[in-house]
Amino acid sequence: MVLAELSAMADDLLRYRPEFPILERTTYMISNSLGAMPRGVYDSTREFCDIWATRGVCAWEEKWWEMAREVGDEIGAIMNAPPGSVSLQLNVTGCEAVVASCFDFKGPRNKIVYSDMNFPSIMYFWEAQQSRGARVHMVRTDDGIHVPTEGMLHAIDEQTLLVPMSHVVFRSAYIQDAKAIIEKAHRVGAYVVLDCFQSLGTVPVDIQGLNADFAVGGVLKWLCGGAGTSYLYVRPDLGKKLEPKLTGWFAHEHPFDFEIGATRYSDPPYRFMQGTSNVPGFYTALPGLKIIREAGVERIREKSKKMTARLIELADQRGWKVNAPRDPERRGGTVAIDMPNSRDVCQELLKRDVLVDYRPKAGVRFSPHFYNTMEEIDRAIQTVDEILSEMGVAATAR
């Protein structure tokens, strides 16, 4: 792509900058952890307060009950999920629990396959299911960046029940070959739970194209939607027949009949919900979802690739260790850089309003999003230079 073309495209996405107040006072490069708050959240949370204040309990019937479906559909639209297939949950770990509760682990098909690059919370959850009969098979990886597809394919066999895998790995932003893994899982009768937390919003996800059985994630990172709203997509044909045991009255066919005894499941998305949902979280989620949809993930991705390439170029020039895939097609939105004293450097960056984070075995994670500029990338790295020079670490710049 020629330079002029790129800057025109980048400029177009930069028209969203004024929508994010924090960009006026910080170099915000931590969208892998918490996306910047859209200005529209002030109005949408006021809307929540207004309806609560003026309509009280009537708000459930007039707005809040159906809102769970509407927000689920907004998220679904970004991943090409059909309407009604995405339920809202509180967090991703809870989404895994809902999926787990659809199965039992008593039979020979009780193996759970994932790699050691999975998000730890997911591992903690599945490890804990071993006391309920699940058998965890962890695929070991060696370079802290990639997950060898072959290793995953080899581990998935006729005894495998579920494969809870990250689409984009949180530690290195490696994009796993979800299609190949899903195809293998299906060939042997296993299901895949695709964790899209680090992909949706910055890497295009076509959940029907991938034919994933389940997809999970939250809105607070790349979707700029705040905490407390996570999503669980269930493939529509499965959604009709699975019966989650982690359930409650929201999942009942006639919740307001308050029948006693066993439940009668409603259809998705409510079928996969439990009790009263986090309504304020729906309101904080909507403005970010609207902007991401309008901006378009394909365009966000094109810009993201350029920004992460620039980060790598700058790190290479300085001889710092880059813990991210070199292949742009396999690299998500984050570049982890392990420069000298990286934990302390991260603390100093935060003090200087360059917002990033640090993870052991990864380094300082830089996660630019569509609202960042190329100049900010250069400025962030120059700030690292200044910090290292103040620390007395000799510059190795070439």
- Owner of token pair 């997911």: 122
Which one among 230, 247, 274, 367 touches ligand PLP, defined by CB under 6 A?
A: 230
Contact between 170 and ligand PLP (CB under 6 A)? Answer: yes
Q: Smallest gap, in angstroms, from Cβ of residue 98 to ligand PLP? A: 12
Q: How far is CA 128 from the centre of its chain?
A: 23
Token duo for residue 223 = 């979707």
What CA–CA distance (Å, rounded) separates 279 from 24? 29
Token duo for residue 197 = 């937390």
Q: Which is nearer to ligand PLP, 16 or 222 (CB)?
A: 222
Token duo for residue 237 = 């044909």
Q: Smallest gap, in angstroms, from Cβ of residue 195 to ligand PLP? A: 5
Q: Which is nearer to ligand PLP, 85 or 166 (CB)?
A: 166
Pick the stretch among 12-20, 118-126, 334-342, 367-375 that binds ligand PLP (CB under 6 A): 118-126
Closest CA to 20 of 282, 333, 295, 230: 295
Q: Residue 3 is inside which H or E element, if any? A: helix 3-14
The 3-state DSSP class for residue 51 equals helix
7-46 residues in contact with ligand PLP (CB under 6 A) are none
Pick the stretch among 40-48, 55-63, 177-185, 193-201 that binds ligand PLP (CB under 6 A): 193-201
Contact between 198 and ligand PLP (CB under 6 A)? Answer: yes
Q: Which is nearer to ligand PLP, 33 or 45 (CB)?
A: 33
Q: Which is nearer to ligand PLP, 195 or 213 (CB)?
A: 195
Which one among 28, 114, 119, 282 touches ligand PLP, defined by CB under 6 A?
A: 119
For the chain, give the number of residues.
398
Which one among 197, 231, 250, 282 touches ligand PLP, defined by CB under 6 A?
A: 197
Token duo for residue 243 = 């019966």
Pick the stretch among 114-122, 156-164, 203-211, 375-383 that binds ligand PLP (CB under 6 A): 114-122
Task: Please give the angle made by the CA atoms of 207, 79 and 242, to the nearest 5 degrees.
Answer: 50
What CA–CA distance (Å, rounded) separates 323 from 336? 5
Task: Please give the angle made by the CA atoms of 184, 185 and 191, to the nearest 5 degrees.
Answer: 160
Q: Which is nearer to ligand PLP, 74 or 195 (CB)?
A: 195
Pick the stretch among 61-69, 190-198, 295-303, 315-323 that binds ligand PLP (CB under 6 A): 190-198
Query: Crossing angle for the helix pair 374-390 and 342-351, nearest 10 degrees?
Result: 120
Which one among 195, 213, 338, 376 touches ligand PLP, defined by CB under 6 A?
A: 195
CA dihedral 27, 33, 39, 40 (to 10 degrees): 160
Q: Which is nearer to ligand PLP, 95 or 190 (CB)?
A: 95
Contact between 114 and ligand PLP (CB under 6 A)? Answer: no
Which one among 27, 31, 87, 166 touches ligand PLP, defined by CB under 6 A?
A: 166
Pick the stretch among 38-46, 78-86, 115-123, 335-343 that binds ligand PLP (CB under 6 A): 115-123
Beta strands at 214-218 and 27-28: parallel, antiparallel or unpaired:
unpaired
Q: Which is nearer to ligand PLP, 27 or 198 (CB)?
A: 198
78-97 residues in contact with ligand PLP (CB under 6 A) are 91-93
End-to-end CA distance of the chain: 27
Contact between 218 and ligand PLP (CB under 6 A)? Answer: yes
Closest CA to 216 of 235, 226, 202, 230: 230
Question: Max alpha carbon distance in the chain (Å)?
Answer: 73
Q: Which single residue brings its beta carbon nearest to ligand PLP?
A: 91
Pick the stretch among 131-139, 191-199, 299-307, 350-358 that binds ligand PLP (CB under 6 A): 191-199
Closest CA to 137 of 151, 119, 149, 148: 151
Q: Which residues bind ligand PLP (CB under 6 A)?
A: 91-93, 119, 121-122, 166, 170, 195, 197-198, 218, 230
